[in-house]
Chains A and B, each alone.
Chain A
Amino acid sequence: MRKWININLVFAEMVILVFFCDQRMATPSKTPPGADPKQLERTGTVREIGSQAVWSLSSCKPGFGVDQLRDDNLETYWQSDGSQPHLVNIQFRRRTTVKMLCIYADYKSDESYTPSKISVRVGNNFHNLQEIRQLEMVEPSGWIHISLMNQRTNEPISTFMIQIAVLANHQNGRDTHMRQIKVYTPVEESSIGKFPRCTTVDFMMYRTIR
Chain B
Amino acid sequence: MALRSAYLDFLYSAKSPERVVGVGGDTTSFFPALYPFYQQRRSSCFGFFRSCPLMFGPARYSPAVLGILRSCSAGNGRCVQIFGRSEERAEREKRETADRKRRTECGSGMTVLQEPVQAAVWQALNHYAYLDAVFLAERLYAEVRSEEALYLLATCYYRSGKPYKAYRLLKAHSCSTPQVRFLLAKCCVELSKLAEGEQVLIGGVLNKQKSQDDIITEFGDSASFTLSLLGHIYCKTDRVTKGAECFQRSLTLNPFLWSPFQNLCHLGEKPDPDQVFRLSSLQNLSIVPPPQSVSPAQNPSHRLDTALMETPQDTLELNRLNLESSNGKLTSDLSVSYIDSSLISPETGSLLANTVSMASAGSLLAKQNKPKSGRSLLGGPAALSPLTPSFGILPLEPSPGDPTYLQNYSATMETQSTAPSKKSVSRISQSKSVFSQSGNSRDVLPIPFNQSQTSAPHTSGSPQVLSPSMSGPPNVQPRRSSRLFTSASSTAKENSKKLKMKFPTKIPNRKTKCKSAKTSNSSNLNESLDILRLDPGLSLPDTKIPQYQRAVADSVMALLRELGRGYQALCSYNCREAINILTSLPPQHYNTGWVLTHIGRAYFELAEYTQAERLFSEVRRIESYRVEGMEIYSTTLWHLQKDVALSALSKDLTDMDKNCPEAWCVAGNCFSLQREHDIAIKFFQRAIQVDPGFAYAYTLLGHEFVLTEELDRALACFRNAIRVNNRHYNAWYGLGMIYYKQEKFNLAEIHFKKALSINPQSSVLLCHIGVVQHALKKSDAALETLNRAIGIDPKNPLCKFHRASILFANDKYKAALQELEELKQIVPKESLVYFLIGKVYKKLGQTHLALMNFSWAMDLDPKGANNQIKEAIDKRYLPEDEAAEVDDSQDSSIMTDADDTQLHTAESDDVL
Contacts and interface: CB of A to CB of B under 8 A. Distances in A.
A43 B542 CA distance: 74
A145 to B, nearest CB: 5
B905 A197 contact: no
A151 to B, nearest CB: 9
A202 B439 CA distance: 48
Contact of A185 (B709, B740, B862): B709
Contacts of A190: 703, 706-707, 737
Interface in B28-42: none
A62 interface: no
B829 interface: yes
Contacts of B805: 193, 195
A195 B707 contact: no
Given A188-B709, A206-B764, A206-B797, A147 B862 contact: no
B48 interface: no
24 contacts: A42-B675, A44-B865, A47-B675, A49-B708, A149-B910, A192-B772, A195-B832, A198-B830, A198-B831, A199-B829, A199-B830, A199-B866, A200-B831, A201-B639, A202-B797, A205-B607, A206-B764, A206-B767, A208-B737, A209-B764, A209-B765, A210-B635, A210-B639, A210-B730
Contact of B641 (A47, A195, A204): A204
Contacts of A205: 607, 609, 639-640
Interface stretch (B136-144, B593-601, B880-888, B896-904): B896-904
Interface size band for A: 35 or more
- Top 4 closest pairs, chain A to chain B, by CB: A196-B866, A205-B639, A206-B798, A194-B896
A201 B865 contact: no
A92 to B, nearest CB: 11
Contacts of A206: 607, 763-764, 767, 796-799
Interface stretch (A24-32, A79-87, A152-160, A162-170): A152-160
Interface of A: 34, 41-45, 47, 49, 51-52, 100, 145, 147, 149, 152-155, 185, 187-188, 190, 192-210
A41 B868 CA distance: 19
B640 A192 contact: no
B762 interface: yes
B716 interface: no
Given A45-B865, A155-B901, A147 B832 contact: no
B143 to A, nearest CB: 58
Contacts of B797: 202-203, 206
Interface of B: 607, 609, 635, 638-641, 674-678, 699-700, 703, 706-710, 730, 733, 737, 740-741, 755, 762-765, 767-768, 771-772, 796-799, 801-802, 805, 826-827, 829-832, 835, 860-863, 865-866, 868-869, 894-898, 901-902, 904-905, 908, 910-912
B604 to A, nearest CB: 10
Contacts of A43: 863, 865
Nearest to A198: B832
Contact of A194 (B699, B829, B898): B898
A148 to B, nearest CB: 10
A192 B771 contact: yes
Contacts of A192: 737, 740, 768, 771-772
Nearest to A44: B675
B827 A193 contact: no
Contacts of B641: 201, 204
Contacts of A208: 703, 737, 764
Contacts of B755: 209
A164 B613 CA distance: 48
Nearest to B734: A209
Nearest to B833: A203
B190 to A, nearest CB: 31
A199 B832 contact: yes
A206 B764 CA distance: 6
A199 B860 contact: yes
A200 B802 CA distance: 16
A154 B908 contact: yes
Given A42-B675, A195-B832, 11 more contacts: A47-B707, A47-B708, A145-B912, A196-B869, A198-B830, A199-B862, A203-B830, A205-B640, A206-B797, A208-B764, A209-B733
B765 A203 contact: no
A202 B741 CA distance: 24
B685 to A, nearest CB: 15
A200 B635 contact: no
Contact of B912 (A52, A100, A153, A154): A100
B706 A196 contact: no
Nearest to A196: B866
A152 B865 contact: no
Contacts of B707: 47, 187, 190
A198 to B, nearest CB: 5
Given A206-B797, A207-B798, A42 B674 contact: yes
A68 B376 CA distance: 72
Contacts of A147: 910-912
A197 B866 contact: yes
Given A47-B708, A147-B912, A199-B860, A210 B703 contact: yes
A203 B193 CA distance: 47
A199 to B, nearest CB: 5
A202 B827 contact: yes
Contacts of A195: 805, 832, 895
A147 B709 CA distance: 21
Contacts of B863: 43, 199
Contacts of B860: 199-200
A210 B675 contact: no
